[in-house]
Amino acid sequence: MPRTLSIDFVSDIVCPWCVVGLGGLTAALETLKAEGIEAQIRFQPFELNPQMPPEGENIVEHIDRKYGSTPEQSAANRAMITERAAEAWPGFEIRMGEDSRIWNTFDAHRLLHWAGTVGMAEQRALKAALFTAHFTDGRTMTDAGVLAEAAATAGLDRGEAEAVLAEGRYAAEVRAAEDLWRSRGINAVPAVVVEGKWLISGGQPASVFEEALRKMASEL
């Protein structure tokens, strides 16, 4: 009997492990289709750096300030994550370097919330476009034009995206969702919440997602 899992993917668009996690989850679900297991994925907001100013921060300085990593450690970590992302999500390329920047992502989450009101496929496409804009193209993720362009790339109406951003729409909804997931104990991402009761944490490989989802589906 076919089973469709409800999944909340709590994440941030400047989180490289979220790229890895989404790639692994996607691959696992593709394999599980043959067993009649599918999923509806909703992307939920989480800001890694809610106090980040609009101009962002250099990635090496950010990692040093936040984790105490040296430039060499930061470079090694970027190389490792780049490799993991390429394995988990074939065709996706992370090009983060020492001049890359970390951004405030609240407006991006507002846009993702709007995309979710259009449809789950549209929200998924926007998530991928935002990941690409940040990790592959190194765009300024607080720039409304960049965000609207990502929406257009995802097949959404650019004019409506511009209006959402300019008018401050969905700010309250995003804040409420962030508060909700924090209240449920989510303090790191990616957090994959299945059926509102099971949690798979971190950028796991497809095999881990596959095994966990198969077990969860059997218990529905």
| Segments in the chain forming alpha helices (H) | 16-32, 59-67, 71-88, 106-118, 120-131, 144-153, 158-166, 171-183, 206-218
- CATH number, residue 50: 3.40.30.10
pTM, entire model: 0.96
Q: Which ranges of the chain have pLDDT less than 70?
A: 1
pLDDT of residue 78: 95
Angle at 147 between CA 141 and CA 151, to 5 degrees: 145
pLDDT of residue 2: 81
Q: Considering its fold, how many domains does the chain have in total?
A: 1
pLDDT of residue 220: 86
Q: Which domain holds residue 176?
A: 3-218
pLDDT of residue 137: 98
